[in-house]
Chains A and B, each alone.
Chain A
Amino acid sequence: MQAVEKAIKEKARALLADGTVDRVLGWEKGEYCYDNTPAVFTEEDIDRLVYNSFCGANLSKYLIAESKKEGRVLALLKPCDTYSFNQLIKEHRIDREKVYVLGVPCHGIADVEKLNVKGIKGIESIAEDGGRLTVQTMYGEKECELNDVLLERCLSCKGPEYMAADDTVEDPAPVELRKHDRFGMVEKLMQMTPDERFEFWRSELSKCIRCNACRNVCPACSCLKCVFDNDASGVSSKANVDTFEENMFHIIRAFHVAGRCTDCGECSRVCPQGIPLHLLNRKFIKDINENYGEYQAGADDSSPWPLVSYTQDDVEPGKMEGGKN
């Protein structure tokens, strides 16, 4: 990825120099080797830009604010980020003219939590060599395969193609597309009895601390004021005061992004309690695919999404299979 980072910086410098763009939206190196933060750079500080297997944050949502500012911004988008970008263009949230999209290749994003679960803790530095990570920790050197510690979303990678890009950085060593059953866990849940499913979701959702990270990071959650922040709605709450609220928040949030969710997986990435929120979104995606035709949100920037269209012979409510009974 070092070669890619170098190429990104070269392209960015050239675009800044010839005035095509005024600033660059990318990731800045953090305190450690893995905690990169989204940041905006200009010619002076573009050296601080970093690109590696820990640039997980999907930058497309920042473009809502960035494209409202003066000048043009160069946005570094990984292939899966371009889906979110397209969806936001479709919803007229981003001014396309003010964004120059540079597609950057991705080999999968590593999940530090998964490293920890593998017993790799006290991380001091991480060296990437092909698909292998060599981790120096406070407790000795550890090794693992990038493929074993990928974020959930990367296991069902949508592929290396960019859905929107003004220019791209070439991938010097493309990796094979990971073949993972995207709906495997959803199907497994559907095969359970209703009691087991209820138990599964209770134990997951009861962990929720209502920090709203899933909502705030979600590129599809772009309402100026969320219903859960509206006192007058009667549903606004800052804590899960009752088990009902744990369910309600997540059902409504998943429903509100149904058909618009690109399955970028940011919700599951940021959840401090590790709730597999993507399993809610994927259920909707699966239902949509099976009943209204295959649909990938963000694959284009203009087609109407499934919940704003209909056919005369759509399936009747209650006939769609939510799970075994």
Chain B
Amino acid sequence: MQKIAMDRISEFYSAMAAERALYLPLKKRGAVNFGRWQEGADVDIDALHTVKSPKDLFFPQSEDIVAFKMKGKEIEIDAPDTPDEPFAVFGVRACDARAMEVLDRVFLSEPVDTYYRARRENGVVITLACTAPEETCFCSVFGIDPAQPGGDVSTWLSGGFLYLKAVTEKGEAFLAGLTPLEEANDAEIEPAVRALEETMERLPLKDLDLTGIDGNATEKLFGSEQWAELSRACLGCGTCTYICPTCQCYDIRDFDTGKEIRRYRCWDSCMYSDFTRMAHGNPRKSQVERFRQRFMHKLVYFPANNDGMYSCVGCGRCVAKCPISMNIVKVAKALGAEARK
């Protein structure tokens, strides 16, 4: 284990940024999001969550996949290069680190998404243990321990120091190149870990019961009569899906620049009326069905296809941000009671 004093933290950022592009939580006009570090950047590692999750760095909200134009009678095709910039992302919470495992299941299984894979290979994930979880947190429900945040390198804040420990070989190689770090003893983070454990015990959602909601509950839950009531106030906006660290649906669209067609992919939301639209229209005609799709996917379909792994990590972003305060916790509580009957 190594450490660096917090009052020297900017040296640490510089050292990391010298190695590779560094992304970390930056505050811009009141909102904290992952952004590229440069000298003088307003870093905010105290914020529990960024608004958008770090998934953006591996699976950007929009990216070009191909462009084509007519050259005489020929079609000229231009595909962007596979992303190759090495980068590091610092300040990833345990829930967001788990979310990457969820995304890996989707994008790294056959057929592999080459863009995603390239970014995963180029990126070093430096996680940060939580210090002050909030009432919206429920990561422990999914077996996540915020005191052991994982990633390639795990870090902890304790007594004015940032402690770092490599988890993977990639992480070890990355840390080896950073000069400002001092050696530290594993025992030094004990007080911080214990304090976090105590806080976790006080979380109001720590006992959220998902018994009965799993990959085997498809028929029972799909037909539930509660969906209409639960989704009634849903605005059909994409807030929950766009801030979610595990939502991975995307759309492929064409943009006519006048000179060429640029085909890009961008995040899509199952809450939108044109999601998975086909020639005959959207198979989910009403908001009830769209709403049901989102939660069934997270809590039932995904575990059914991925050895029981839920595609919710309990980060609580949607709990905090839904404009009408309808979220996965309320849904799980309502459906859980029914599933266990």
A residues neighboring B (CB under 8 Å)? 30-32, 35-40, 57, 62, 112, 117, 121-124, 138-139, 203-204, 207, 209-213, 215-217, 229, 231, 234, 237-241, 269-270, 272-274
In the complex, 27 of the A-B residue pairs with CB atoms within 8 angstroms, ordered by the A residue number, are A31-B333, A37-B233, A37-B330, A38-B233, A40-B232, A57-B233, A57-B324, A112-B320, A121-B48, A121-B132, A122-B134, A124-B204, A209-B51, A209-B243, A212-B237, A212-B272, A216-B235, A216-B236, A217-B237, A229-B274, A231-B274, A237-B255, A238-B251, A239-B267, A272-B239, A273-B51, A274-B30
Q: Which residues of A contact B202 (CB under 8 A)?
A: 138
What is the count of residue pairs linking A and B with beta-carbon distances less than 8 angstroms?
Answer: 130
Residue of chain A at shortest CB distance from B243: A272
Give chain B interface residues in 312-341, CB to chain A under 8 Å.
Answer: 319-321, 323-327, 329-330, 333
Contact of B242 with A30 in the complex, beta carbons under 8 Å: no
B29 at the interface (CB under 8 A from A): yes
Q: Is B194 at the interface (CB under 8 A from chain A)?
A: no
CB-CB nearest in chain A for B267:
A239
Chain A nearest CB: distance from B246 CB in Å?
A: 16
**Once the chains bind, are A62 and B239 in contact (CB under 8 Å)?**
no
Q: Is the CB of B134 within 8 A of A239?
A: no
Smallest CB gap from A209: residue in B = B242
Instruction: Compute how far the CA of A32 lies from the CA of B138 in the bound complex, rounded to whole angstroms.
Output: 14
A272 to B318 CA separation, bound complex (whole angstroms) = 10
Residues of A within 8 A of B105 (CB): none
Once A39-B233, A213-B323 are accepted as A-B contacts, the answer to whether A274 and B31 lie under 8 Å apart by CB is yes
**Chain B residue contacts of A211, Cβ below 8 A:** 237-239, 241-243, 269
Q: Which residues of B contact A237 (CB under 8 A)?
A: 253, 255, 266
A57 touches B133 (CB 8 A): no
Measured in the bound complex, the distance between the Cα atoms of B47 and A117 in whole Å is 10
In the complex, A16→B320 CA distance in Å? 34
Contact status of A122 and B233, CB under 8 A, knowing A36-B325, A203-B29:
no
Are B272 and A138 within 8 A (Cβ)?
A: no
Among A57, A204, A272, A274: residue with most chain B CB under 10 A: A272
B25-40: which have CB < 8 Å to A?
28-31, 33
Most A CB within 10 A of own CB, among B135, B267, B274, B325: B325
In the assembled complex, the Cα of A307 lies from the Cα of B202 at a distance in Å of: 55
Given A209-B242, A212-B237, A212-B238: A241 and B133 within 8 A (CB)?
A: no
- Which residues of A lie under 8 Å from residue B28 when comparing CB positions? 203, 207
Whether B274 and A138, one on each chain, are in contact in the complex, defined by CB atoms closer than 8 angstroms, is no
Residues of B within 8 Å of A39, CB to CB, are: 229, 232-233
- The CA-CA distance from A237 to B204 in the complex, in Å, is 39
CA–CA, A273 and B30, complex, Å: 8
Cβ-based interface call for B264 (8 A): yes
A contact residues around B62 at 8 Å (CB):
239-241
Q: Known: A124-B135, A209-B52, A229-B273. Is A269-B323 also a contact (CB below 8 A)?
A: yes
A112, B330: Cα distance in complex, Å: 19
Q: Which of A32, A124, A204, A238 contacts B272 (CB 8 A)?
A: A238
* Contact, CB under 8 Å: B237 / A30: no
